[in-house]
Amino acid sequence: MGASSTLALCATVAGAAAFQIPFLFPPSQTLVQITNDTIPLVNSSALQDLISGDRLLVRAKKLFEIAKLGEHEYNHPTRVIGSAGHVGTLSYIYESILELGPYYDISNQSFPAVSGNVFESRLVLGDVVAKSAAPMGLTPPTKNKQPVFGQLVLVENDGCEDSDVPDSVAGAIAFIKRGVCPFGTKSENAGRKGAVAAIVYNYEKDAVQGTLGTPSPFHVATFGLSGEEAAPILKKFEKEEAVDGIAYIDSEVNQILTVNIIAQTTAGDPENCVMLGAHSDSVTEGPGINDDGSGTISLLEVATQLTKFNVTNCVRFAWWAGEEEGLLGSDYYVATLPEKENKKIRLFMDYDMMASPNFAYQIYNATNALNPEGSEELRDLYIDWYEEQGLNYTFIPFDGRSDYDGFIRNGIPGGGIATGAEGIKTKEEEKMFGGKAGEWYDSCYHQLCDNLGNLNMTAFVVNTKLIAHSVATYALSFKGFPERTGFAASSEYHSQVKYHGSKLFI
Ligand SMILES: [Zn+2]
């Protein structure tokens, strides 16, 4: 796998180099605003009318063909960052926008991304194989990618401070409670004291599917463990009985270069932009046609149809990379925006998973109480539209699981819609949306079968029309939409959000 990773790096760099243009912010003073009097001003229903399922499907087929480029290296279709399937996706997006001529300025933003693979893992506690043991995302392997043996040593408090970790952890396996600080901090603290592996056990019954986040030289091989499987171990500690364990993780963490693609209308007020994004990458396991091929395609199609109209405000489309590794592309983009540029983004709309086969029409429940002012107005725009169409909708938590997170954390109002991932459809939702209660919204979420057969075309068309509506509304006017204020999220947002992308980080 080492050799193939080198291939991946070369493929990405070569692919990125094919359209390497330095990323520049459009200089507002010198920007030539193109106004074309021969085309009408944008109108929501006219833009919505141009959205067709046939065109979306043609693009989905194209994307699946592109995902097959990943087969050579991964033995199955994938568009994971670093793969030929992702490089092909970037070229497809770039070329599609380029074909639209001077209507858009396109830029590529290259950034370093870490990508991790776990090939094999096993955790034995006493003489029991821990069923819930899940290697953390971006975990390093155990020493020499071999099993390591050691006593389990209970770390005090939450393992967030150096002083919580007893010296006896050296050569042992640290046993740490989940909570208060990120998993990465716990692993680092244990690694610094010489632990050979770490286990973060849940304070709840469930398993922990987490990520260590940004790699550190002090990270040690780290598992998440369910509260249920941790309970008997904790009992033994209480009785001062010794427990030993065997930990084994064969994994790698690579740094690669990947690319965000940004397209901005040359017309429209560049000081007041409506921004929207989808992620261009998939997970390693599959082609990601719903996640987030659907959002990627919706944005391409709306960007294409928008060229038939003039705009008052600038519209900025983004295709993020590295979402599946922990929102890397969108985080990088927002983190590197100077305040002057940050302020020009009036709001950010996230479109991730538009066509889940067992869909619900989900709206992120983004309120102004918890999020930058304007997030709630955007939420209400989605509500009003579904109601006008006579369609049902539900609210879902706005909890850091997609690319809006970096925007909210930097004071930019945001929100979005989705159709559901690994959650289970309720009986009530079955009545509201059809489909099947008791099953995942997307039974192929993050799997090989997220292919062409994994799109619900009704939901795909409905939601792409709603995306068109959101773009048309704000491209026309920000009347009544709150002005931008600060550059940070509320402390409540910080304390409530436990996800960063699809994985828990805390
Ligand atoms: Zn996604």
Q: Which CATH number fits domain 2-28+39-114+255-504: 3.50.50.100, 3.40.50.720, 3.40.630.10, 3.40.50.170?
A: 3.40.630.10
Flag whether pLDDT at 2 surpasses 60: no
Flag whether pLDDT at 219 surpasses 50: yes
Q: Which two tokens stand for residue 465?
A: 């029309």
**What pLDDT is recorded for position 289?**
98
Determine the distance separating the centroid of ligand 1 and the alpha carbon of 318, expressed in angstroms.
14
Q: What mean pLDDT comes out for the span 126-140? A: 95
* pLDDT per position as a tens digit, 239-298: 999 999 999 999 999 889 999 999 999 999 999 999 999 999 999 999 999 999 999 999
Task: Tell me how far apart the alpha carbons of residues 19 and 15 are, in angstroms, rounded to a whole number.
Answer: 7
Determine the distance separating the centroid of ligand 1 and the alpha carbon of 444, expressed in angstroms.
12
User: With bands split at pLDDT 50, 70 and 90, how would you rate the model's confidence at 494?
Assistant: confident
Determine the distance separating the centroid of ligand 1 and the alpha carbon of 281, expressed in angstroms.
8
Flag whether pLDDT at 28 surpasses 80: no
Task: Tell me how far apart the alpha carbons of residues 279 and 449 are, in angstroms, rounded to a whole number.
Answer: 19
Of 112-116, 219-223, 490-494, the least confident: 490-494
C-alpha neighbours within 13 Å on the C-beta side of residue 468: 28
β-bridge mates for residue 176, sequence order? 200
Determine the distance separating the centroid of ligand 1 and the alpha carbon of 324, expressed in angstroms.
7
Task: Tell me how far apart the alpha carbons of residues 474 and 494 are, in angstroms, rounded to a whole number.
Answer: 28
Task: Tell me how far apart the alpha carbons of residues 375 and 416 are, in angstroms, rounded to a whole number.
Answer: 9
Determine the distance separating the centroid of ligand 1 and the alpha carbon of 38, expressed in angstroms.
38
**What pLDDT is recorded for position 35?**
54
Q: What percent of the chain has pLDDT over 90?
A: 83
Determine the distance separating the centroid of ligand 1 and the alpha carbon of 417, expressed in angstroms.
12
Determine the distance separating the centroid of ligand 1 and the alpha carbon of 282, expressed in angstroms.
7
Q: Which two tokens stand for residue 159?
A: 């393992």
Q: In the chain, which residues fall in CATH 3.40.630.10?
A: 2-28+39-114+255-504
By annotation, the residues acting in catalysis are: 323
Q: In the chain, which residues fall in CATH 3.50.30.30?
A: 127-242
User: With bands split at pLDDT 50, 70 and 90, how would you rate the model's confidence at 36?
Assistant: low
Flag whether pLDDT at 21 surpasses 80: no
Flag whether pLDDT at 15 surpasses 50: no
* pLDDT per position as a tens digit, 354-391: 999 999 999 999 999 999 999 999 999 999 999 999 99
Determine the distance separating the centroid of ligand 1 and the alpha carbon of 192, expressed in angstroms.
34
* pLDDT per position as a tens digit, 461-470: 999 999 999 9
β-bridge mates for residue 499, sequence order? 504
Task: Tell me how far apart the alpha carbons of residues 359 and 199 are, in angstroms, rounded to a whole number.
Answer: 36
Count of all residues that appear for the chain in the document: 506
Task: Tell me how far apart the alpha carbons of residues 125 and 13 are, in angstroms, rounded to a whole number.
Answer: 43
Task: Tell me how far apart the alpha carbons of residues 483 and 271 are, in angstroms, rounded to a whole number.
Answer: 12
Q: What mean pLDDT comes out for the span 47-51? A: 98
Mean pLDDT of the chain: 91
Q: Which helix (H) or strand (E) holds 347?
A: strand 345-351
Flag whether pLDDT at 1 surpasses 50: no
Task: Tell me how far apart the alpha carbons of residues 419 and 362 are, in angstroms, rounded to a whole number.
Answer: 6
Query: SS3 sequence, 451-505?
Result: CHHHCCHHHHHHHHHHHHHHHHHHHHCCCCCCCCCCCCCCHHHHHHCCEECCEEC
Flag whether pLDDT at 64 surpasses 80: yes
- Closest by Cα among 13, 3, 64, 105 to 449: 64
* pLDDT per position as a tens digit, 437-456: 999 999 999 999 999 999 99
Determine the distance separating the centroid of ligand 1 and the alpha carbon of 446, expressed in angstroms.
9
**What pLDDT is recorded for position 37?**
65
Task: Tell me how far apart the alpha carbons of residues 451 and 68 are, in angstroms, rounded to a whole number.
Answer: 11
Q: CA of 370: how far to CAs of 70, 180, 347, in Å? A: 41, 20, 15
* Crossing angle for the helix pair 53-67 and 84-98, to the nearest 10 degrees: 140
Q: Which two tokens stand for residue 372?
A: 């930058």
User: With bands split at pLDDT 50, 70 and 90, how would you rate the model's confidence at 25?
Assistant: very low
* pLDDT per position as a tens digit, 406-440: 999 999 999 999 999 999 999 999 999 999 999 99
Flag whether pLDDT at 164 surpasses 80: yes
Identify which has the larger pLDDT, 364 or 4: 364
- Asked: is 127-242 a CATH 3.60.15.10 domain? The reply is no
Determine the distance separating the centroid of ligand 1 and the alpha carbon of 440, expressed in angstroms.
15
- Closest by Cα among 64, 58, 93 to 76: 64
Task: Tell me how far apart the alpha carbons of residues 67 and 284 are, in angstroms, rounded to a whole number.
Answer: 11
Dump strand ranges (E) for 126-188.
128-129, 134-135, 148-154, 173-177
Determine the distance separating the centroid of ligand 1 and the alpha carbon of 288, expressed in angstroms.
8
* Crossing angle for the helix pair 295-306 and 53-67, to the nearest 10 degrees: 130
Dump strand ranges (E) for 48-193.
104-125, 128-129, 134-135, 148-154, 173-177
**What pLDDT is recorded for position 489?**
80
DSSP state at residue 488 = S
Determine the distance separating the centroid of ligand 1 and the alpha carbon of 174, expressed in angstroms.
33
Determine the distance separating the centroid of ligand 1 and the alpha carbon of 403, expressed in angstroms.
9
Task: Tell me how far apart the alpha carbons of residues 159 and 195 are, in angstroms, rounded to a whole number.
Answer: 13
- Closest by Cα among 152, 206, 154, 145 to 176: 154
**What pLDDT is recorded for position 192?**
97
Determine the distance separating the centroid of ligand 1 and the alpha carbon of 408, expressed in angstroms.
18
Flag whether pLDDT at 31 surpasses 50: no
Identify which has the larger pLDDT, 414 or 504: 414
Spatial neighbors of 72 by CB under 8 A, at least 6 apart, are 84
